[in-house]
Amino acid sequence: MPELPSVEDLMSRNPVTVDADQSLKFALKTMRKRKVNRLPVTERVSEDRKELVGILTVLDAALAVADAMFGDLSPSRIKVSEVMSSPVITISPGATVLDAAQTMLAHGISGLPVLDGDRLVGIITKTDLLKLVRSEDYVALHMIKDPITVSAGTSLLHARRLMFDENAKVLPVVERERLVGLLTDRTLALELARLREKSPKGKFRSALKRARVDDVMRTPISVRTDYGLVDAAELIVRKRVPGVPVVNYQDEVIGVITKTDLLHLLVEELEAAG
């Protein structure tokens, strides 16, 4: 029986990080520029050493930007340390990819900083693990049926609430039962930050109430029920989305397949192989 790959084999080395005292605006700009959805947060503990103290995701950012507790503060005046998740769940480079997948699923997270002792040496994400999917099953067997959807005219405020209440990182945008767009947690977070930053003092809430899904939704991406899971995983990785809607031949949304669904499948495959 072949040995399972280690975390070190798949992790991204030298991950992009952000300092705890940096602004949320800086963190979001870094995410956009470096095309990442999470940043390990570090704090300097000596002249030549930084320590991992948290992790910031786009969902953390989206929640913070529209949170009433920050009042009229713009992202440039909110510190990363105020919105990051801490303590951080980590993994060692010598752990197996099965350990990594099980840890992510157990804690409902999408990425793990990799620590060698107390030194940050990498990060491994669901995206990295999807490259191991080998199942010959069709999407129809593993998709979530009757997913939550929004219309193009839905307010961003309502879409944000749906994402958090239902823990959904991707929302198909539907008109007359047909797919017309896609809203992801990343798109939502970046737009909320842009709105917050450009709104005059005291005007953010009213601007947020006016903002609609069709202002920011991306071009629809989808798969059909007879799509292979390997192809679906490759599409999700290539398009940098948390998941894709599943449509029938009339382009009606009948399901969604996400990174989490594929990760559950991968765990089953790896456990069976072991």
Q: Taking 60 as the threshold, does the pLDDT of residue 1 lie above it?
A: no
Confidence of residue 200 (pLDDT cuts 50, 70, 90): confident
Confidence of residue 34 (pLDDT cuts 50, 70, 90): very high
Q: Which two tokens stand for residue 209?
A: 């109430």
Of 173, 166, 122, nearest in space to 13 by CA: 122
Of 113, 116, 123, nearest in space to 11 by CA: 123
Q: Taking 80 as the threshold, does the pLDDT of residue 189 lie above it?
A: yes
**Confidence (pLDDT) at 2:** 63
Mean pLDDT of 79-91: 95
- Which residue has 């959805």 as its token pair? 37
pLDDT digits 0-9 by tens, 58-75: 878 877 877 756 766 778
Sign of the Cα torsion 103, 107, 109, 113 reads negative
Q: Rg of the chain's alpha carbons, rounded to an integer? A: 19
Confidence of residue 82 (pLDDT cuts 50, 70, 90): very high
Mean pLDDT of the chain: 91
Percent of the chain at pLDDT exceeding 70: 97
pLDDT digits 0-9 by tens, 118-167: 999 999 999 999 999 999 999 999 999 999 999 999 999 899 889 888 88
In DSSP terms, which residues pair with 125 in a beta bridge? Answer: 111
pLDDT digits 0-9 by tens, 215-238: 999 999 999 999 999 999 999 999
Element spanning 123, H or E:
strand 119-125
CA distance 192 to 196: 6
Percent of the chain at pLDDT exceeding 90: 70
pTM of the predicted model as reported, rounded to 2 decimal places: 0.89
